[in-house]
Every structure is written in structure tokens, then in C-alpha cells.
Amino acid sequence: MKQINSIKDMQKLIAEEKRAGKVIGFVPTMGYLHDGHLSLIERAKKESDVIVVSIFVNPLQFGPNEDFDRYPRDLERDEKLALKAGADVLFFPDTKEMYPKESVVTVSVNKRVDALCGESRVGHFDGVATVLTKLFHIVSPDYAYFGLKDAQQVAVIEGLVEDFNFPINVIGCETKREVDGLAMSSRNVYLNDRERQEAVHLNASLIKAEKWLLEGDSGETEQKMIKYLEEHTSGVVDYCKILSYPELLPPTPQSKRLIIAVAVKFSNARLIDNVILDNILCRPESEEETCSVR
């Protein structure tokens, strides 16, 4: 596995691989890899010739009171895991390499950010879109792989690629879970023993919500999720929402997919989870009214 920390060297290597007719698969990460990340690498290995994994903890997507300085980092560990999973290139630029001076232009996301994580993390997705714009230009991938645990991020990235005409196929991959159902996350290491046991109830609340929707109880589902999480965890419920996907708007009769999403703040970690439903579960009597999901 080649290890590169220079943008110029990364672009030179990609140009050589492209001239050789190689298909480039890209897995952008912030490091501290877990099985969820590794499953993306393994998926990319099946569909691409050269697999690039980037590790960069992007300061632009952290708010002033968030965990940028505490975000777990272990490059040596990540190198071994990425190699074992099948990565061909590890790209790990530092902050000075990615942002050598104050940016003249950044990316501002106008839609799909007024709900869920975007509602409380103002500017977060601007930072995500800015760094991915840079990484997409540096790596020039044919395929880019992202976990659907961060479904709002995937929705924003799909919009970025479409609006800016990147010749990239965005592949959203199923959430990888622990045996007990907890969505894998680099931030899970922040949970204490009690919170780790409680965290399984995020996924449990989604399973219950899907059942309630199938039973036609859409009007109370969000509140029932909140009550369930308050009764079964010591965390603070940030949101429980049912929205159209990928638009992230209140569902309408035309909605093809729905997302049920949840976020809970524990003492040192904010966890998110979701489920995306392909069938229409919400059908108001009038086409003018939105679905009654509260």
C-alpha cells in the first residue's frame, strides 16, 4: 500500500493510474477506522481497480464547542487496517497541506441542511462540502463510497456531485452494526459502560418506529420515539424525525422514500442512526396536505 501525504504526489499518482485505464475507488474518512469503514473499502475493492482511502480530520466541519481536538486519531493503527481491508493508497494530508492559507472560496450548502444534524450544527455541511470538493479534485475518483449511517451527509454529497457536475458515482452503503445493533462509529469509544449498554436503544427506537408506521400510526411516531429513548437512556434526545429522503423535507404523497432518523447526546458523545424506507408509508387523504408525522 502506498502512503502519500502530499496533494501534488497524490495527483501525480492518480494521473498515472488514469492513463493506464484504471478505475479509481475512493473512501474518504476522518480516520480511527472501524468495521464500517473497512466494509466500504471491501465494497470498493469489488468495483474498482485502485482503492484510495483518505484520512483527514477536517477542522471546517467542527463547530467551536465540538470535539475536533478530542477526535480519536491513530494513524499507525489505521494504516494496518486499511492495508488488511484492501486499500492500495492511503492519503493522509495534514491541515497545513489541505488549507495552506485562508480560503478565497468555500462551498455553501443551501438545501438538505435545515433539519436533522444540520439544524443544530450550523455550518457543518459547508465544511463537509468544501473538503470533499477539494478531495474529489485531488483524487478524481470514478466511485466514492460513504456509509448511510450519515444519511444526511450522503444526501448533501449527492447534491454536491450533481450540482457541480463531478464525474463521480456516489455509492451509499448500508450501515454496519455491532452484534447488538449499535451503529458503528468512531465516537462510540467515548461512551462509558452504562451509556454503551443504553446506546443500543437508538436502533431499537428505529425498529419500533418502522413498526408503528406500518401499523398506520404516523401521527404519533416521533413523540413515541422520544418517549422511548427518554425512558431507556440517560442521554438527551436531540431529534427524532421522519422526513422524505433525500430531500429531508416533510413527507408528501409524492415522497418515494422516507428516512426515520434519531440523534442522542450522551455525556461525551453525540450518536446518530437512521433507517431509510423505500416504500411510501404515508398517504394523506388530500394531495395538497403534507403527511401527519410529528
Q: Does 10 belong to an annotated binding site? A: no
Q: Does 34 belong to an annotated binding site? A: yes
User: Cell digits for 272?
Assistant: 446518530
Q: Does 32 belong to an annotated binding site? A: yes
Q: Does 201 belong to an annotated binding site? A: no
Q: Does 36 belong to an annotated binding site? A: yes
User: Residue 215 burial (CB < 10 Å; 0-12/13-18/19+)?
Assistant: exposed
Q: Does 149 belong to an annotated binding site? A: yes
User: Cell digits for 255?
Assistant: 415522497
Q: Does 30 belong to an annotated binding site? A: yes
Torsion 82-170-36-197 (CA) sign: positive
Active site residue 124: no
Q: Does 84 belong to an annotated binding site? A: no
The full length of the chain comes to 294
Catalytic residue among 37, 124, 201, 232: 37
Q: Does 71 belong to an annotated binding site? A: no
43, amino acid identity: R
Say how far apart CA 262 and CA 201 lie, in whole Å. 10
Torsion of CA 69, 110, 262, 61, to 10 degrees: -10
Taking the CB of residue 6, how many other CB atoms lie within 10 A of it? 12
DSSP 148: G
Binding-site annotation, residues for beta-alanine: 61
Binding-site annotation, residues for ATP: 30-37, 147-150, 184-187
Binding-site annotation, residues for (R)-pantoate: 61, 153
Binding-site annotation, residues: 30-37, 61, 147-150, 153, 184-187
Which of the residues are catalytic?
37
